[in-house]
Each structure stands twice: as structure tokens, then as C-alpha cells.
């Protein structure tokens, strides 16, 4: 899965002959499951139609601050700038580059650029002499000094018939450039992350087991978040219906606590971060019946024994890893979480309570508190588990680069 998956991409098209390539560019972003919106300068519509880009992006295309045919509907440049995860100006003509450099704001594209809070990429496109002109070179340098990212023009045959530098990068190369740039800047690049998820099932007989209601949703969201931050993830999951498809996530399926113990120890030594969010059974049957136990009128007694404490065992082996545990409590939540931090040698513990509505097993939301090894506590509101995963990694990254 591409790092552009799920990203909100705002494509700004200006009036250069290379505008025809933006149809392919939009298609490539859509194929990578990015959400795309397109804005245009008025003059760019002479080179490619808004209808084409609207059809491909599956979103309306705007080129003015309001649309007369739509009862003067206001196209809010500030909202567009805040919506985007990244903005790309392609083609970026000499005229637009000069206006960007000097803060000129006379169309929707420029107003949105000045309002953008996200990374801005620009792909210059113009004729050879224009590209080599000192004023253009000044614009290119100044825009990069402002923090914008230039996708270099290439050499080739230009619209004028001349051959030289100034040709806009091909759509495939633009997408590849952005992917590599994002990956290079991700905070977990080259970091190996071990994550556990879901329940364990402890067999009673060939048919029955001891388990719990964990769906694995929180652990899978953590794995996705880690991969999207550039990490290489090993996800060890108990029985779960959750699904993940990402090139940076290796899924290891297990059933029992003993299997999870072995797999965690297999990968832990080479991990930089370990997050144990699985709901591992605390007890298992001491003896597993080889045949299905028949129902009788009398009571059935099953002797249980403790499972191995995976989190504590990793804490005892910890060297330079950041070790994160989870605590699901029903009473004395903070006190119990603090006790686990100390007894299991944790860097962070994520606490949630079954007493909080919308938190706990098999929900799409969670409400957590995060405690660190100094027993400082941060409380978070009820959120979707994907956003909870982001909060958790924000705290981990602060630890990682402290």
C-alpha cells in the first residue's frame, strides 16, 4: 500500500501546455486510493477542461472564488488549504511561480496556496529560455527557501520545438517523487515495530476454549499507523476478523498465549518499539481434553493455570527498546496502571476503562489515558481507534527522539 493511500491531495493546475498531463496525474493518485480535489487558474481551462478533471477526480473542479452558475456558491480557499494533506501545483508556470514568490493573490490557486498548512510541491513547466532566466531561477530558489518542495523539470522536446530543460516531470515520476519524499521524512523510517493484537484462545478440548471479546481493532489500527509513519511492522495477532493490507506490515497469526509468547520473543530483540495491545488470556486449562467433553448433569470443574506474562518477560529483556503496554481496568484504574509500569519495566502504558461508554472491546472508538515511566498521565477524549492510534504514536515519537 502506498504512503499516499487515504491522503487528501489538492492538485492546482496552471496555464501551461503540460496541463494535459494532469489527467494522468489525477488517475494515478486515485489508483493509489488518495482523495483528490482539483483547482485551476482561469487560463488553464484553455488547455484541459474542468469536466475531464472532475470526472477523473470524482469531485467538483473550481477555478474561481464563486460559481455564477451555482448561485454564486463561495469556493472557500481557506477550507481547501486546510483540507489537504498535501498540495501540488502542476504545471507550475513562470507566471505562477513569480506570483507565489511575491505573495500575489489574484486567483483561487494563489489564494489557496497562501492558505495551505500542508506540504506544497510544485512541478515547473516552461520553455527553455524561460526556465533559464535569472528571474525564474530566483523564484525556484525562493520558493524552496519558503519550505516548498520542487519536483525538478526534465530535459526533452518542448512545445516550442526546442530541446532542453523545462519539461514538466512525467505523472508517474511526480507520484514517485512525492512518495519517496514523504517516506524519507516519516518519523519511523527504518524503525522496526512489534505489535500484538486481538484475543488468545486457550483450548479446553478440541471444540471449546477460554477467550475474551477482543476484536483486535485497536492493534490493527496501531499497525496501520506505524506503517504509515514509515515503520516496518510485525503484527502478531490472535484470532481476529480484522484485515490489513500494507507492504510494510508482516502479519503473524497465532491462537494461544503460549504461541504469542514464542512469536514475541522471536521478534523482540530486533525491534525498536514493542506495543502489546493484545488481550492475552491470564489463565489456561491445566489439562486439555483430547476428546470433546460430553455434557453431564453434574457440575464441570476445570483446573486453570497462569499463562506466561509476555509483557513482563519482555520488560526483563529490554535494552534500548521502547516498550508499551495496555491496561484494561474496571476499578482503581490509575493505581493499577502505575503498578504495571513499574513491575513490567514499561516506557508507556495505555489505560482504558470498561466503565467508559464507547471504550473497550469490539467498538470503533476508545477513550484512553497514557502514562509514562515518570507516572505522568495524559487523558484523551473518546475518539475513533484510528485517531487513538495516532495519539499513542505521538507519545511514542516524543519518547523516541527525546
Q: What is the pLDDT of residue 176?
A: 94
Confidence of residue 349 (pLDDT cuts 50, 70, 90): very high
Among positive and negative, which fits the CA dihedral 352, 354, 356, 359?
A: positive
Cβ-based neighbours of 378, under 8 Å, separated by 6 or more: 369, 370, 371, 395
Indicate the helix (H) or strand (E) that contains 55. Answer: helix 50-57
378 torsion bin: left (phi>0), alpha (psi -120 to 50), beta (else): beta
Q: What is the pLDDT of residue 65?
A: 79
Looking up residue 93, the CATH number of its domain turns out to be 3.40.50.1950
Looking at the fold, whether 218 and 239 belong to one and the same domain comes out as yes
Task: Indicate whether 231 belongs to any domain.
Answer: yes
pLDDT value of residue 254: 98
Q: Say if 3 falls within a structural domain.
A: no
Q: Would residue 212 show up in a list of annotated catalytic residues for this protein? A: yes
Confidence band of 128 (pLDDT split at 50, 70, 90): confident
For residue 205, give the H/E element and its range. none
Residue-level pLDDT at 352: 85
295: CB partners within 8 A, 6+ apart: none
Under 8 Å between Cβ of 120 and 89: yes
In a shared domain, residues 203 and 110: no
Contacts 24+ apart (CB under 8 A), 177-184: 177/121, 177/151, 178/4, 178/86, 178/88, 178/121, 178/151, 179/2, 179/3, 179/4, 181/121, 181/149, 182/3, 182/4, 182/86, 183/3, 183/230
Cβ–Cβ < 8 Å for 155, 167: yes
pLDDT in tens, 274-306: 999 999 999 999 999 999 999 888 898 999 999
How big is the chain by its Cα radius of gyration, in Å? 27
pLDDT grade for 6, boundaries at 50, 70 and 90: confident
| Spatial distance between the Cα atoms of 43 and 99, rounded to a whole number of angstroms | 15
Q: How confident is the model at residue 76 (pLDDT cuts 50, 70, 90)?
A: confident
258 and 228 in a common domain? yes
* pLDDT surpassing 60 at residue 122: yes
Does 1 have pLDDT greater than 70? Answer: no
Query: The C-alpha cell of 107 is what?
Result: 486567483
- Mean pLDDT of the residues in the chain: 91
Domain count, the chain: 2
- Tell me which of 157, 185, 213 is where a domain ends: 185
Q: What average pLDDT does the segment 112-120 reach? A: 95
Asked, for residue 214, whether it belongs to a domain, the answer is yes
Whole-angstrom distance, CA of residue 373 vs CA of residue 379: 15
Do 163 and 18 lie in a common domain? yes
95 and 221 assigned to the same domain: no
| pLDDT band of 358, cuts 50, 70, 90 | low
380 lies in the same domain as 240: yes
Cβ neighbour number for residue 359 with a 10 Å cutoff: 19
The pLDDT value recorded for residue 108 is: 93
Residue 295 counted as domain residue: no
Measure Cα distances from 266 to 161, 208, 252, 261 in Å. Answer: 61, 28, 11, 9
State residue 67's pLDDT score. Answer: 66
What's residue 336's pLDDT? 87
Query: Residue 68's pLDDT is what?
Result: 60
**Residue of 59, 212, 345, 394 marked catalytic:** 212
Element (H or E) spanning 323, and its range?
Answer: strand 322-329
Note whether 75 and 209 are same-domain residues.
no
Find the helix or strand (DSSP H, E) in which 286 lies.
none
Q: Per residue in 27-50, pLDDT tens?
A: 999 999 999 999 999 999 999 999
In this prediction, residue 73 carries a pLDDT of: 58
> What CATH number is attached to the domain comprising 230?
3.40.50.10300
On whether residue 294 sits in a domain, the answer given is: no
Domain-terminating residue out of 136, 163, 185: 185
Based on the fold, state whether residues 245 and 350 are members of the same structural domain: yes
Quick one: which H or E segment has residue 180? helix 171-185
Q: 2 in a domain, yes or no?
A: no
Question: Which pLDDT value is given to residue 328?
Answer: 81
| Boundary (domain end) residue, out of 185, 200, 235 | 185
The residue ranges of DSSP E strands in 198-239, in sequence order, are 202-203, 209-210, 232-237
Q: Are 129 and 72 in a shared domain?
A: yes
C-alpha distance from residue 277 to each of 156, 211, 289 (Å) = 53, 15, 30
Domain boundaries, position 220: 192-288+302-400
User: Does residue 141 form part of some domain?
Assistant: yes
**346 Cα distance to chain centroid:** 25
**Based on the domain organization, do 265 and 233 belong to the same domain?**
yes
Which stretch of 45-59, 72-86, 237-251 has the lowest confidence by average pLDDT? Answer: 72-86
Residues 121, 233 within the same domain: no
Torsion, Cα of 258, 262, 267, 271 (10° steps): 60
- The DSSP code for 132 is H
What is the reported pLDDT for 168?
92
155 is a domain residue:
yes
Q: Are residues 213 and 340 in the same domain?
A: yes
pTM, to two decimals? 0.76
Angle at the Cα of 262 from the Cα atoms of 328 and 392, rounded to 5 degrees: 35
Q: Single out the residue of 361, 284, 286, 357 nearest to residue 326, CA to CA.
A: 361
Amino acid at each position: 500500500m502506498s504512503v499516499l493511500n487515504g491522503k487528501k491531495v489538492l492538485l492546482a493546475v496552471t496555464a501551461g501546455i503540460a496541463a494535459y498531463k494532469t489527467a494522468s496525474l489525477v488517475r494515478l493518485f486515485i489508483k493509489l486510493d488518495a482523495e483528490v480535489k482539483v483547482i485551476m487558474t482561469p487560463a488553464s481551462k484553455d488547455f484541459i477542461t474542468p469536466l475531464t478533471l472532475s470526472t477523473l477526480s470524482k469531485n467538483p473542479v473550481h477555478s474561481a472564488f464563486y460559481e455564477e452558475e451555482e448561485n454564486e456558491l463561495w469556493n472557500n480557499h481557506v477550507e481547501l488549504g486546510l483540507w489537504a494533506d498535501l498540495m501540488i501545483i502542476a504545471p507550475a508556470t513562470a507566471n505562477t511561480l513569480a506570483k507565489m514568490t511575491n505573495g500575489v493573490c489574484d486567483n483561487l490557486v494563489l489564494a489557496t496556496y497562501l492558505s495551505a498548512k500542508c506540504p506544497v510541491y510544485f512541478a515547473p513547466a516552461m520553455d527553455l529560455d524561460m526556465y533559464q532566466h535569472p528571474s525564474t531561477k530566483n523564484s525556484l530558489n525562493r520558493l524552496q527557501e519558503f519550505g516548498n518542495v520542487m519536483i525538478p523539470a526534465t530535459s526533452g522536446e518542448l512545445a516550442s520545438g526546442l530541446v532542453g530543460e523545462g519539461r514538466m516531470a512525467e505523472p508517474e515520476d511526480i507520484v514517485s517523487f512525492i512518495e519517496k519524499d514523504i517516506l524519507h521524512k516519516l518519523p519511523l523510517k527504518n524503525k522496526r515495530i512489534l505489535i500484538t493484537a486481538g484475543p488468545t484462545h486457550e483450548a479446553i478440548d478440541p471444540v471449546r476454549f477460554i477467550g475474551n471479546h477482543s476484536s483486535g481493532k485497536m492493534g490493527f489500527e496501531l499497525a496501520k499507523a506505524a506503517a504509515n509513519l514509515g515503520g516496518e511492522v510485525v503484527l502478531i495477532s490472535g484470532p481476529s476478523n480484522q484485515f490489513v493490507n500494507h507492504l510494510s506490515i508482516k502479519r503473524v497469526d497465532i491462537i494461544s498465549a503460549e504461541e504469542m509468547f514464542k512469536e514475541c520473543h522471536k521478534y523482540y530483540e530486533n525491534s525498536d518499539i514493542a506495543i502489546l495491545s493484545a488481550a492475552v488470556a491470564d489463565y489456561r486449562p491445566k489439562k486439555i481434553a483430547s476428546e470433546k467433553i460430553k455434557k453431564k448433569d453434574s457440575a464441570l470443574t476445570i483446573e486453570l493455570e497462569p499463562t506466561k506474562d509476555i509483557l513482563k518477560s519482555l520488560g526483563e529483556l529490554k535494552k534500548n527498546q521502547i516498550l508499551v503496554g495496555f491496561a484494561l481496568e474496571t476499578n482503581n484504574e490509575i493505581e493499577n496502571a502505575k503498578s504495571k509500569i513499574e513491575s513490567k519495566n514499561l516506557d508507556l502504558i495505555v489505560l482504558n476503562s470498561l466503565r467508559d461508554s464507547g471504550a473497550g472491546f469490539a467498538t470503533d472508538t476508545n477513550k484512553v489515558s497514557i502514562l509514562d515511566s515518570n507516572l505522568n498521565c495524559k487523558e484523551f477524549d473518546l475518539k475513533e481507534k484510528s485517531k487513538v492510534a495516532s495519539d499513542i504514536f505521538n507519545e511514542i515519537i516524543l519518547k523516541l527522539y527525546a
